[in-house]
Amino acid sequence: MALSKRITYYYDEEVGNYNYGYNHPMKPFRMRMAHSLVAAYELDKKMTVIRPPRASARQMTRFHSDDYVDFLSRVTPEIAEQHSDHTHLYLSGDDCPAFDGVFEFSSISAGGSIAGAKRINHGDSDVVINWAGGLHHAKKGSASGFCYINDIVLAILELLKYNQRVMYLDIDVHHGDGVEEAFYTTDRVMSVSFHKHGDFFPGTGNLNDIGLSKGKGYAVNVPLRDGIDDESYKNLFQPVMRMVMERFRPGAIVMQCGTDSLSGDRIGCFNLSMKGHAACVEFMKSFNVPLFCLGGGGYTIRNVARTWAYETSVLLDMELDPVLPYNDYYDFYGPEFRLDVPASNMDNANTKEYLDKVFAHIGEQLRGIPHAPSVHMQEVPEDWPAMSDDEMDDEEMDLEPETKMTDFGIVCNLTLHL
Ligand code: LLX
Ligand code: CA
Ligand code: ZN
């Protein structure tokens, strides 16, 4: 019998108050809906629930450029309109509006992801959840695809202080471009993204994009077509991830659980049911490696809330009543009022031949990288880490403004050198 895991869940009730604008598909309110379901199922009683500390501008500049973070911390809707030339440098038009409180909103998601990584580093938790995180498109010097601050890169940088290897897995329907780019030249982070590819945002994530120099082979891209269903997804996901885990042996897994890969999403084009999506989470949990689950995209908000509440229960090993309990947003779930997101009858454009070709290509890629040593074979200095997290943060203050310290190297303003 598997031992039950210690779970930490980050939630800030303020997060649901931010508003991208009336017509924008990103609705931060979905996080409040998800939490309301979590609480109505009494899942909050089975885990440690923490309100995250807000990330500071300084913490954000561990990845992002100083000028971009400074801009984000000052911008308001009025300033953005008055200085539109400057704004276009950092924010991409309608996708990334300068809405009221955009910096505070970003500091909530980033704060939860940095704090969650620390909790894993200190061995305080086996599984951490931050459904407000997962902003995988944000770049070093600009916002992209509704994402301003890349909480995922910040969490991975934190995990790298204590872990020689960290795996990043992304089941959002979009390519995890910002995270892949940040770690494209290192063999210490393996990034794996399953996504729709072909005439779809952001356009990156080709099968042949596998990383560069030391990082060659450590970026895995799984480009998919419209309408992939639970069975074909599982038949590709499980063997690919088994192979990645066996080859790379990470000390921690960061999993972006974007729900725009669900059937019926307002933006996505896949045909995964809630159970099919959650089966990916359950599969990664079964490796018994510290797991950090983050949110991501998701635009049919009743289904986002259902799925993240259900995935919370999967991580807790708890069975839930398929009839939804009464909750603050009960009316959103009619007419069925059930904990289910069914697949539809849409066509699956992913033929068996296509998926076999993708699998063969990835298999060949992974056989080309060396087997990582298992954790017990690694040499770890007895007094490692020599400094506390706070001391390490303080150390950064003494460095030149253009260089940021990490435990294993210097992050300069162009590339992360790990
Ligand atoms: N993919 C994704 C993941 C997380 C967030 C946003 C996105 N972006 C999109 O889904 C998208 C859709 C259409 C066009 C461009 C991008 C995200 C999550 C939480 C808060 C903010 C952004
Ligand atoms: Ca993805
Ligand atoms: Zn997405």
Tell me the helix, strand and coil percentages in the chain, rounded to 5.
40, 15, 45
pTM exceeds 0.85, yes or no = yes
Q: Is the CB of 184 under 6 A from ligand 1?
A: no
> What residues pack around ion ligand 2 (CB closer than 5 A)?
170, 172, 193, 195
Q: Which of 35, 64, 136, 137 is catalytic?
A: 137
The DSSP 8-state label assigned to residue 22 in this structure reads T
Tell me, in angstroms, the distance from the centre of ligand 3 to residue 180's CA. 14
Q: What is the CATH number of the domain that holds 111?
A: 3.40.800.20
> Whose Cα sits closest to atom 6 in ligand 1?
297
In a domain, 329, yes or no: yes
Are residues 347 and 227 in contact, defined by beta-carbon separation less than 8 angstroms? yes
Tell me, in angstroms, the distance from the centre of ligand 2 to residue 188's CA. 20
In a domain, 288, yes or no: yes
Mean pLDDT in consecutive groups of 10 residues from the start of the chain, 418 residues: 87 98 98 99 98 98 98 97 91 93 98 98 98 99 98 98 98 99 98 99 98 98 99 99 98 99 98 99 98 99 99 98 98 98 99 98 98 66 57 45 33 45
In a domain, 138, yes or no: yes
> Whose Cα sits closest to atom 16 in ligand 1?
145
The dihedral through the CA atoms of 410, 411, 414, 417 has a sign that is: positive
Buried b (16+ CB within 10 A) or exposed e, 3-33: eebebbbbbbebbbebbbeeeebbbbbbbbb
Q: 75 phi and psi, to 5 degrees?
A: -70, 145
Tell me, in angstroms, the distance from the centre of ligand 2 to residue 132's CA. 17
The residue type at 347: D
**How buried is residue 340: exposed, middle or buried, by Cβ count under 10 Å (0-12/13-18/19+)?**
middle
Task: Verify whether residue 137 is a known catalytic residue.
Answer: yes
Which residues have a Cβ under 8 Å from the Cβ of 373 and sit 6 or more positions away? 249
Q: Which atom of ligand 1 is nearest to the CA of 296?
A: 4
Tell me, in angstroms, the distance from the centre of ligand 2 to residue 137's CA. 10
The residue type at 316: L
Helix pair angle (230-248, 352-367), 10° resolution: 10
Helix pair angle (230-248, 274-285), 10° resolution: 20
Are residues 307 and 333 in contact, defined by beta-carbon separation less than 8 angstroms? no
In a domain, 410, yes or no: no
Which range of residues forms the domain containing residue 259? Answer: 7-375
Tell me the pairing of strands 7-10 and 127-130: parallel
Are residues 170 and 145 in contact, defined by beta-carbon separation less than 8 angstroms? no
In a domain, 99, yes or no: yes
> Residue 190 is encoded by which pair of tokens?
């393996």
What is the reported pLDDT for 92?
80
User: What's the number of domains the chain is made of?
Assistant: 1
Tell me which residue of 404, 406, 167 sits closest to 289, measured CA to CA: 167
> Whose Cα sits closest to atom 11 in ligand 1?
145
What is the reported pLDDT for 361?
98
In a domain, 398, yes or no: no
In a domain, 127, yes or no: yes
In a domain, 390, yes or no: no
What is the reported pLDDT for 401?
30
What is the reported pLDDT for 11?
99
